[in-house]
Amino acid sequence: MPEYAKFTEDMIKTHTILVPDMLPIHFKLLVAIFEAEGYKMELLRNDSRAVVDEGLKNVHNDACYPALLVIGQFMDALNSGKYDPDKTALLITQTGGGCRASNYIHLLRKAVDKNYPQVPVVSLNFSGLEKDSAFRISPKNFIKLLHAVLYGDLLMTCYNKCRAYEVNKGESKKMLAKWENRLGNIFRKGSNMYLKTKKIYRDILNDFGSIELSGEKKIKVGIVGEIYVKYSPLANNHLEDFLISEGCEPVVPSLMEFVMYCAAGTFNDAKIYDNNTKMSLAYKAGYKLLYAKQKELIKVMKEQGSFEPLHDFEHLRHLADKYINQGVVMGEGWLIPAEMAALAQSGVDNIICTQPFGCLPNHIVAKGMSRAIKQDNPNANIVAIDYDPGATRVNQENRIKLMLANARMEQ
Amino acid sequence: MANKYSLGIDVGSTTVKTVITDEGGNIIYSKYQRHLSKVKETVTDQLNMIRGEYPGESFTVCITGSAGLGLANSAGIPFVQEVHAAFLAVKKKQPDADAVIELGGEDAKIIFLTGGVEQRMNGSCAGGTGAFIDQMATLLGITADELDELSLHAQKVYPIASRCGVFAKSDIQPLLNQGARREDIAASIFQAVVDQTVSGLAQGRTIEGKVLFLGGPLFFLKGLRKAFVKTLGLDSAHAVFPDEAPVFVAYGCAVYAASSGDCYGIDEMIDKITNAKASDDIVTGEPLFRSQTEYDEFIDRHKQFDLGYADIRTYEGDAYLGIDAGSTTTKLVLITDDGRILYHHYSSNQGQPLDKIADQVKKIYEVMNPGVTIKGSAVTGYGEDLIKACLSIDHGIVETVAHFKAAAYFCPDVDFIIDIGGQDIKCFRIKNHSIDSIMLNEACSSGCGSFIQTFAMALGYDIAEFSQLGLFAQHPVDLGSRCTVFMNSSVKQAQKDGATVEDISAGLSSSIIKNAIYKVIRAKSPDELGKNIVVQGGTFLNDAVLRSFEKELGRNVIRPAISGLMGAFGCALYAKERADGQPSKLISAADLEGFSYTSRSANCGGCTAHCQLNIISFGKGRRFISGNRCEKGSGSPVKNKIPNLYEYKYDSILNTVKTHQPRKYRGVVGLPLALSFYEQLPFWHMLFTSLGFRVITSDESSRGMYYLGQHTIPSDTVCYPAKLTHGHIENLLDKGADFIFYPCMSYNLDEGGSDNHFNCPVVAYYPELLLANNPRLNNENFIHPYLDLNIRKNVIRVIGEALKKYNIKGRIPAAVDAAYEALERYHADVANKAKDIISQARAENRKIIVLAGRPYHIDKEINHGIHKLITSLGMAVITEDSVAHLARTPNLGVLNQWTYHSRLYRAAEYVTTQPDMQLIQLVSFGCGIDAVTGDEVRAILESKGKLYTQLKIDEINNLGAARIRLRSLVAAIEK
């Protein structure tokens, strides 16, 4: 098998690392953190049809849509001529685990190797994979990334709420840009200001809280699902924008939940399978830190009072137990039914479950669990939407419209 | 101000319906019209008609329907979702209905009204709708009405996959080719639609009470109505087919308009609709030809690859007949000694290949100069066996060989052949003048010729006219390149966005090409295809398709003028090569005069597979039997038995529970004969029997078993092995075990040599899904603990907790150890048996096939008897797990983290070291993980010069494509 290009020390200075457009808000902060370390990074924004076409060309027909899009976006960017292939690297997230997703990096390498063998692929992971790369995450950066997730989640939550109700069009977007800049600058400068979480949370909440909102009653629509399709506008055909245009409020559970789900999975497995190791104990300690951080944010959000706080993760775990064992850890695993139940419980009855067509774990955790969740929450209105290079927007939107018609009837 | 009249406009995928209601909500006007994709024009027409009847009136108006969404948005007219509109209409007209089933052009919907209102529609991958029926009618060469008429005279119903039009086609085609009655097929098509609605849409909810049937197909097609009423067990009082069914949704839309529509005059509406701005997110490509000159040059270039002709009336001498009985078309060629064409024929077989070909042979005899002697004849294609037997053709050859023969005639150095026919795409790579690898389209990506044809017809064109339109289109639409159903909606969207028919025609041509290059061939770059490319098949007669192909490759290719006849021509060449100077055995003119046949169906009683046989009787008491997988059904005596590890393993698993059961037992535990149990049954059986339980398993899988659990399947795109599990659970519940035991396992056993040892997500967690979707299961009768078989203490603890109430904790460790030993014995036994088979095969000088899949692929309802098909070709069959331990894991370009899948890599590596072995990978449809493994296994095999063959299997019971592959493989091995 071929040796792939490696990311070496000296490339830190010479290479621009391209980042896929997965979580627009969060990844901006991520880029800033790595720039402080001397890396050059760029968040990709290309989303023409060529992205899908490149994906189709370079990825197996039956591979899942997120892989196809991420790889297509990279290939399209490299083909555009904007980047010198001798000075470009690609960043991809890697989770590990029994889902196909842990193979994305290999699929990407295969695709890149065909056309740009000199371009190294860099893995962003927290499982110690890919040890021979010069791209590393120091403990300090780990803490920074954690904060970026929390800030990103808070901005996303505030922004989604405000823009659904804002009286002065565009005000929320401006506010978002302001905070993206401000936080980006803190991270980029390498300042420790980001540790003043309580103050920053409050400032963000108050700033967004000052936006004038109409008092109208709107249908709240929760979005759960496969992590990439759920967050990436490129993948979900700008689902949040569509819901806003339909007069709804999109409610998107936070990325922190997924991060904690991954952390909890490791020590939980150790417990289920009587297999405690140093690694699982370390994860347990790490989880405690994450949970403390999440609780802090929730507490500030509750005190401030303008926005619905994030789901408390221990509460989510508790909810999951009603439907599915926490041993289900492939893909988004038990987190999807837990989030659906939490949304339904907090009055967000309408839930869109976004999934790549043919997603294996989602057979079990999404479509497989809908019936049980509906049984406990008779008002829940769950619709699974498949995303795929061939699925048309009209088809998806028509199904969402049906859900909304149902919702309006119940109002 | 309340308006006097309300107007509802329902723009569906194929029709436009308008309804006007008065103040009292009564329907005072309605109109139903096909729009042939001219949406705006048709709506405007209807509005003009309304103006004629109600001059000067204004209306509160609203639009609904799947094609209405875009129109309403761009015209700024209110929109109501169509299922919701139907709901409103039902509330007014039939308030006591319990459920509503509505079939439209491309949607199927169901509304439950009582016991919790629920509205559902089909997902993006479901074809059991009006368009599906149209497509099937086209396949039979008749109209939907004729199909309906036929169905009323049916005697039996065949199982036809109903999930998607493409699947159904592959079930229907062999039935047609085998001569099944068209009446029966018609009824089977309707039954498939019903099954799809009941299983796909209702998903576990029972359809009962008073059911209202709506939509065009259900209004016009009596046979479809009959099938629904019968399947749901409704009497006439509970099955309601309202007179206004075709316009019911438009009525609902008018109801909605009365309360929330906007008010306009007709002129204002027409104005809005005419000026509706098409969205600009439509992607277009370059024109195929920029000028007439460019086109003329193209035509001239291809003209050079033509054959000479000779007049059949005046020619005297030897001739050779080639027949290609394709899936949808029939091709015949009669050539002279020096390769000139005497007679040729190409036509749709209209589902009656035998009649068509017999007619043509008759014609040849009529016009042929008496001085011609037919010295040889050969047939290929789906209908090969039938035609060969009935018309006594000399040779039957596999399609790939026929096509290669023909291509090499035109281009001796050919290194790549691509053939796009009515329903198949076939590609072969040629190395050293023999076929090196074969790629066929799988059931799901068939964007082939018959697709364009169906599309042309839907738009009101014939195929030639339609493809001609695309040649000079200025902005061909980019329609993506997936399966037919998806392509349908891409086209719909393009139309809504204002693409012209010309642009769509050109776009379709390019889609077909992209599908072939990137999906079927899986080429990373056009250069991979080779230098000397010959294209053929009827679809390439279409200049737009050919041009798209050349454009995509950036290279000129060779299209012989007889592109559509290449299979037949190859047969004729083959017949000539094999000619021995004697006249062909071909049926004589006299025998042909009195030729007739009858067909009937029967079930084979040879074994428990009960293959559905089609028996055609013809001539003097001769019979042709098809549908059988092994020799037993063919009526001829069974020959020497060829060793087959699939059968051995299957019997061994089935027999596990027949041995070693405690005489006195403390309880009965049920184990489903599904997924991981096909490997781990020896473990669980030994564990439970050692603990004093009697162990029962569910019965063997069958289509019936699948139907038994169909209503509890929440996700219709999961793999067939998983779907079957639902039936096994129902079966076990009926058999009365004290509890069903089915553990969840993230991890499988670690066999070493891999990065990790997971189960796939479906195998790992399916018990969770079963519990959540089968209302008969609960935590008492369904025990599904999480455990890791690698960790003995974990198994002991978990089993102890699961069986707490039996108070047998002390006995568990010993039982667990016995279980591990039993599993080990089973593995060793399989490996030993494989050794025996290998030596027997070598002694008999047979090739050996490693049929590599998953443990559950030994289930005959899952593998559909493919292993028997292989042995019937004279090769021995062993399994991936029986040889995986004989090789080390090769270097891989992927993460090797699933136990079952890592065996594939090792088995492939092993095969590369054995000159008389080949590997065939069995892949269940929908298995996303095999998207990863397939490419990797191919790379391992091809790097060492072995052939890679992949067979995709699903619930479809049609082995036609598998047979072609296997025979091509045999042909390639023999070279």
Testing the interface with B: which of A48, A62, A99, A373 to mutate, by most B Cβ within 10 A?
A: A62
What CA–CA distance (Å, rounded) separates A7 from A88?
10
Contact between chains at B123 and A394 (C-beta distance less than 8 A): no
Chain B residues whose CB is inside 8 A of the A363 CB are 714-715, 717-718, 722, 761-762, 769
Nearest CA distance, A335 vs chain B (angstrom): 14
Rounded to an integer, what distance in angstroms lies between the CA atom of residue A351 and that of residue A341? 10
For residue B441, is pLDDT > 70? no
pLDDT band per the 50, 70, 90 thresholds, residue B524: low
With an 8 Å Cβ cutoff, are A368 and B715 in contact? yes
Q: Do B769 and A393 touch (CB under 8 A)?
A: no
Q: Do A401 and B893 touch (CB under 8 A)?
A: no
Could you give the residue ranges of the DSSP H alpha helices within B203-265?
A: 216-220, 222-232, 248-260
Chain B residues with CB inside 8 Å of A109's CB? 893
Residue from the list A99, A111, A399 with its beta carbon closest to the beta carbon of B761:
A99
pLDDT in tens, B213-261: 988 888 889 999 999 999 888 888 889 998 888 889 999 999 999 887 7
B768 interaction partners in chain A (CB closer than 8 Å): 324-325, 328, 364, 368-369
Q: What is the pLDDT of residues B344-357, one digit of tens each?
A: 998 877 767 888 89
pLDDT, tens digit, for every residue of B188-226?
Answer: 889 888 887 877 777 667 788 899 998 888 888 999 999
- DSSP classification of residue B277: P
Average pLDDT of every residue of chain B: 85
Q: Cβ contacts (< 8 Å) between B82 and chain A: which residues?
A: 398
Find the residue in A nearest to B760 (Cα). A98
- Give pLDDT tens digits along chain A (411 positions): 457 888 998 999 999 999 998 898 999 999 999 999 899 999 999 888 788 888 877 887 667 888 889 999 999 999 999 999 999 999 988 776 667 677 788 888 888 888 899 999 998 877 667 777 888 888 888 899 999 999 999 999 999 999 999 999 999 999 999 999 999 999 999 889 999 999 999 999 999 999 999 989 999 999 999 999 999 999 999 999 999 999 999 999 999 999 999 889 888 999 999 988 888 888 899 999 999 999 999 999 999 999 999 999 999 999 999 999 999 988 899 999 999 999 999 999 999 999 888 788 888 898 889 888 988 888 888 888 888 876 667 778 878 888 888 788 766
Residue A337 tokens, joined:
């039914």
Q: Which residues of B touch A372 (CB under 8 A)?
A: 772-773
- Rounded to a whole number of angstroms, the distance from the CA of B511 to the nearest CA of chain A is 11
Interface touch B764/A98, C-beta < 8 Å: yes
A201-235 tens-digit pLDDT: 999 999 999 999 998 999 999 999 999 999 999 99
Q: What are phi and psi of B319, to 5 degrees?
A: -145, 160
> How close is the nearest chain A Cα to the Cα of B846, in Å?
32
Closest residue by Cα to residue B459 from B7, B36, B948: B36
Q: In this structure, are residues A334 and B734 in contact, taking their beta carbons and an 8 Å threshold?
A: no
Identity of the highest mean pLDDT range in B325-329, B542-546, B679-683, B924-928: B679-683
Strands B612-618 and B597-603, sheet pairing: antiparallel
Q: What pLDDT, on a 0 to 100 scale, did the predictor assign at position B525? A: 67
Q: Between B108 and B745, whose confidence is greater?
A: B745
Q: Which residues contact B489 (CB under 8 A, 6 or more apart)?
A: A391, A392, A394, A395, B106, B124
Nearest CA in chain A to B81: A402
B603-647 per-position pLDDT tens digit: 777 666 666 677 778 776 777 777 666 656 555 555 568 889 999
- The partner residue sitting opposite B791, judged by closest CB among A275, A324, A361, is A275
Give the pLDDT confidence score for residue B616 in this predicted structure.
79
Regarding pTM above 0.80, the answer is yes
Which residues of chain A lie closer than 8 angstroms to B788, CB-CB? 272-275
Q: What is the DSSP letter of B265?
A: E
**Among B117, B718, B759, whose Cβ lies nearest the Cβ of A363?**
B718
Q: Tell me what the mean pLDDT of segment B755-771 comes to.
A: 93
Which helix (H) or strand (E) covers residue A179, if one does? helix A171-189
B221 in Cβ contact with B190 (< 8 Å)? yes
Say yes or no to pLDDT of B881 above 90.
yes
Using the beta-carbon criterion (under 8 Å), do A56 and B514 form an inter-chain contact? yes
Closest Cα in chain B, distance from residue A297 (Å)? 33
B478-516 confidence digits (pLDDT tens) = 776 555 555 666 676 677 666 788 888 888 888 888 877
Q: How many A/B residue pairs have CB atoms within 8 Å?
A: 219
CB contacts, 8 Å: B786 with chain A: 272-273, 325, 327
Give the pLDDT of residue B639: 54
What distance in Å separates residue A370's CA from the closest CA in chain B?
Answer: 9
pLDDT at B445: 42
Which of A125, A241, A271, A394 should be substituted to probe chain B, the one whose Cβ sees the most B Cβ atoms within 10 Å? Answer: A394
Residue B758: its chain A contacts at CB < 8 A?
Answer: 97-98, 330
Say whether A360 and B514 touch across the interface (CB within 8 A).
no
Mark yes or no for CB contact A371/B766 under 8 Å.
no
Q: What is the pLDDT of residue B635?
A: 55
Nearest to B746 among A110, A269, A384 (CB): A269
Res. B12: pLDDT tops 90: no
**What average pLDDT does the segment B934-951 reach?**
88
CA pair distance B378, B397, nearest whole angstrom:
7
Mutation target vs B (from A395, A400, A403; most B CBs, 10 A cutoff)? A395
Burial of residue A138 (number of CB atoms within 10 Å: 0-12, 13-18, 19+): exposed
Q: Is residue B675 a contact partner of residue B721, using CB atoms and an 8 Å limit?
A: yes
Q: Which pLDDT score, from 0 to 100, does residue B594 have?
A: 79
Instruction: For residue A330, list chain B residues with Cβ-Cβ distance below 8 A.
Output: 746, 758, 761, 764-765
Q: What integer pLDDT is reported at residue A305 of this predicted model? A: 92
Say if CB A261 and CB A365 are below 8 A apart.
no
pLDDT tens across B790-829, in order? 999 999 999 999 999 999 999 999 999 999 999 999 999 9
Helix axes B399-410, B566-578, angle to 10 degrees: 90
Question: What residue has token string 């976004």?
Answer: A354
pLDDT one-digit tens code per residue, A374-406: 888 888 888 888 888 766 677 788 788 888 887
> What chain B residue is nearest to A359 in terms of C-alpha separation?
B928
Distance from CA of A108 to the nearest CA of B (A): 10
Tens of pLDDT, residues B61-80: 999 987 788 788 888 888 88
Tens digit of each residue's pLDDT (9 = 90 or more) over A327-366 = 998 889 999 999 999 999 999 999 999 988 878 888 889 8
B529/B552 Cα distance (integer angstroms): 12
Among B519, B772, B929, the residue with its CB nearest the CB of A100 is B929
Closest CA to B93 of B209, B250, B226, B207: B250
Query: Is the Cβ pair B744, A327 closer than 8 Å?
Result: yes
B772 contact residues in A (CB cutoff 8 A): 323-324, 368-369, 371-372
Name the minimum distance, in Å, from the CA of A200 to any CA of chain B: 40
Distance (Å) from the C-alpha of residue A341 to the closest C-alpha of chain B?
14
- How far does B45 lie from chain A, in Å, by closest CA? 24
CB pair distance less than 8 Å for A389 and B758: no
Tell me which chain B residues have a C-beta less than 8 angstroms from the C-beta of A100: 928-929, 931-932
